[in-house]
Amino acid sequence: MKKLLAILLTLALVFVMVAACGDNAANDDPNRPLTIGFSQIGSESDWRVGNTVSVSEAIEGAGWTLVFNDANQVQENQIRAIRDFITQGVDYIVFGPIVETGWDSVLQEVKDAGIPLVMIDRTIDMPNQEDYYVTWITNNFEHEGIAAGNWLIDYLTHTGRINDDINIVELQGTVGSGPQIQRLAGFHATVGAHSNLRITQSETGNFETEMGKTVMEAFLTKAAADGDPIDVVYAHNDGMALGAIQAIKEAGLTPGEDIIIIGIDAVALAFEAILAGDMNVTVECSPLMGPTVVDVIQQHVAGGTPPKTIFNNVRVFDETLYSVFPDRYLKAGDDVANRVY
Ligand code: AHR
């Protein structure tokens, strides 16, 4: 009898240990209240604020407890926040990484703690990275860069300038971040097929409007000194494009006419700028990931397997080419009322 009891106790112990080694939350009571740690990059842009609101409201709307941290654009702050979530024993971690590298140790700690991770927005670059998260909800940054380049080629063709020498300046996002790396690569590869389309200056504006303005002022000064006027601004987000527009106006030039302005994100202020004629186009990158985050967690907590990667669509809005290429571009004026970020 004693022997049987010992065997049963051992089996029960093994069962508890095996359960503890897996995800803490999977195969759980799907209706139990959850605590979700959300590590956000910062609040550097309207896009980012829209993302924070979307994810936070969806988590709280599901009746779960939200533990939120804004890392103020500092990677070390994100690492510290994630470690705090582990200490607090949250049920899930939602995480948008500021840059692609430097996460190996902290994501191993999350995995060892058995806390399921839902990645949002930006990419990471580490070996076997798919083993560290349940799902990655994102936008295709390289396609956004390609779409921006294709729009420029279509626009120059439509306006009879495709064979002219065209000087492009580029406002890059945060150096080392997925969108900076991939929006640059997609755009360069696309316009690179035309040797007369030259990227003459390219610097980071850190995805911030003020910094975009400051860098654009320097671009204009150098272009004037070199006697090589700027024809196009390609900004990795709308916030920096809006900063560049201010700098161009202060330099006595007309944005949208003297200089073609291309942005990414499709924020409300970019739509206003397009309708005012100050900006030419924006490539949509939706931050509205909250409902998908909740859906993924609900599937996972009920024992399901959500898709490993979920991409949003890339849509391009302008006020010129939409009527020439209705299958490629959408009229900004038709969608302005739908802008919620
Ligand atoms: O990672 C998405 C990018 O980050 C958005 O394009 C930008 O506006 C934000 O700050």
Percent of the chain with pLDDT over 70: 91
Domains in the chain, CATH or no CATH each: 28-139+288-311 (3.40.50.2300), 141-286+315-338 (3.40.50.2300)
Q: Is the pLDDT of residue 98 over 50?
A: yes
What's the 86 CA to ligand 1 centre distance in angstroms? Answer: 26
What's the 240 CA to ligand 1 centre distance in angstroms? Answer: 10
Provide the pLDDT confidence category of residue 25 given band limits of 50, 70 and 90: low
Q: Is the pLDDT of residue 201 over 80?
A: yes
Q: Is the distance from CB of 67 to CB of 36 less than 8 angstroms?
A: yes
What's the 235 CA to ligand 1 centre distance in angstroms? Answer: 11
Give me the pLDDT at residue 31, please: 78
Q: Is the distance from CB of 263 to CB of 151 less than 8 angstroms?
A: no
Percent of the chain with pLDDT over 90: 90
Provide the pLDDT confidence category of residue 40 given band limits of 50, 70 and 90: very high
CB atoms within 10 A of CB 173: 28
What's the 160 CA to ligand 1 centre distance in angstroms? Answer: 33
What's the 276 CA to ligand 1 centre distance in angstroms? Answer: 23
What's the 207 CA to ligand 1 centre distance in angstroms? Answer: 7
Give me the pLDDT at residue 123, please: 95
- Which residues neighbour 86 within 8 Å (Cβ) at sequence distance 6 or greater? 109, 110, 113, 115
**Residue with CA at minimum distance from ligand 1 atom 3:** 179
Mean pLDDT score, 41-63: 98
Q: Is the distance from CB of 117 to CB of 133 less than 8 angstroms?
A: yes
Mean pLDDT score, 180-208: 98
Q: Is the pLDDT of residue 295 over 90?
A: yes
Q: Is the pLDDT of residue 11 over 50?
A: no
SS (H, E, C) 74-113: CHHHHHHHHHHHHHHCCCEEEECCCCCCCCHHHHHHHHHC
Provide the pLDDT confidence category of residue 23 given band limits of 50, 70 and 90: low
Residues with CB under 6 A from ligand 1: 44-45, 47-48, 121-122, 179, 207, 237, 239, 264-265, 285
Ligand 1 pocket: which of 43, 45, 206 to mutate (most atoms within 8 A of CB) = 45
What's the 238 CA to ligand 1 centre distance in angstroms? Answer: 9
Position in ligand 1 atom list of the atom nearest CA 287: 2
Ligand 1 pocket: which of 120, 285, 311, 341 to mutate (most atoms within 8 A of CB) = 285
Mean pLDDT score, 27-52: 91
Q: What is the per-residue pLDDT across 217-260, written as a single tens digit (0 to 9) for each?
A: 999 999 999 999 999 999 999 999 999 999 999 999 999 999 99
Q: What is the per-residue pLDDT across 142-190, written as a single tens digit (0 to 9) for each?
A: 999 999 999 999 999 999 999 999 999 999 999 999 999 999 999 999 9
Least confident of 25-34, 50-59, 242-251: 25-34
Q: Is the pLDDT of residue 32 over 90?
A: no
What's the 122 CA to ligand 1 centre distance in angstroms? Answer: 8
Least confident of 25-39, 79-93, 158-172: 25-39
Task: Kindly report the average pLDDT of the chain as a whole number.
Answer: 93
Q: Is the pLDDT of residue 55 over 70?
A: yes
pTM above 0.85, yes or no: yes
Give me the pLDDT at residue 13, please: 40
Mean pLDDT score, 315-335: 98
Position in ligand 1 atom list of the atom nearest CA 44: 10
Mean pLDDT score, 24-52: 87
Q: Is the distance from CB of 161 to CB of 224 less than 8 angstroms?
A: no
Query: Do strands 35-40 and 65-70 pair parallel, antiparallel, or not at all (unpaired)?
Result: parallel
Position in ligand 1 atom list of the atom nearest CA 96: 1
Give me the pLDDT at residue 261, please: 99
Ligand 1 pocket: which of 40, 47, 242 to mutate (most atoms within 8 A of CB) = 47
Provide the pLDDT confidence category of residue 62 given band limits of 50, 70 and 90: very high
Closest CA to 269 of 259, 283, 256, 279: 279
Provide the pLDDT confidence category of residue 28 given band limits of 50, 70 and 90: low
Query: Do strands 232-235 and 65-70 pair parallel, antiparallel, or not at all (unpaired)?
Result: unpaired
